[in-house]
Structure formats: C-alpha cells, structure tokens
Amino acid sequence: MNTIMLVCAAGMSTSLLVTKMQRAAKEKGVDVDIFAVSAGEVDSVLEKKNVDVLLLGPQVKFMKEKFEKSLSNKQMAIDSINMQYYGTMNGEKVLEQVLSLINKNS
C-alpha cells in the first residue's frame, strides 16, 4: 500500500480532494492511504508515518524546494498538485498524477 500526504495551508481545502481521490482509488482497485495535513504538521507526521508521495496544494507549492531539501534523505516523491485538477477537485486526475510519481520512483 502506498501512502499519500496532501499538504495545504490549513489542511481543510484538501480534505474534499482526499475524499474524491479515495473514491477514485476504490473504483480503480488501487490500495492507497491518502490523508491531508497543514504545512505546519508535515514534520511531526513524517516522524510517525512513512509517506511515499507528498503533494503540495497550490497555496503552498512555493514550499516544494524546502521540502525537497529537508526530506532528501527519505525515499519520497514530492510534487505540486496540478492547479487545474485542484481547482476542479478532480480526484481521479490527481490520483493518476500520484500513480505516475510512484511508477517513476520504483
């Protein structure tokens, strides 16, 4: 099972996207653990949980380079959520983005 963490400013706006991604994963038979956190919670969550993909919401995508540096010792894909997919809350397309990242890293 792959673990996907979505990061946004407060952790709220991505919760709807998480629900839509979980629904898309279930329909596709993909076994994933998807959850959302605020940018301030990332480090504490990563101390307790292994994450395969970290996706940044548009409002925090400026933090991508910071996370790439601070998490370089972890085997984790880090990317920004496609703004169009985020804006339309397209869980299926964001899930496809995640699966593509997982395939590149394996």
Contact partners, residue 50, CB within 8 Å, separation at least 6: 3
Question: CB-based contacts of 103: which residues, under 8 Å, 6+ apart?
Answer: none
pLDDT, tens digit, for every residue of 38-92?
A: 999 999 999 999 999 999 999 999 999 999 999 888 889 999 999 999 999 999 9
**Helix crossing, 13-28 with 91-105: angle to 10°?**
70
Residue among 13, 16, 18 nearest 3 (CA): 18
Mean pLDDT for the chain? 92
For 13-26, write each residue's pLDDT tens digit.
788 999 999 999 99
- For the question of residue 26 being annotated catalytic, the response is no
Catalytic residue among 4, 5, 8, 98: 8
Cα distances (Å, whole numbers) of residue 14 to 2, 10, 68, 72, 85: 18, 9, 21, 24, 12
pLDDT at 33: 96
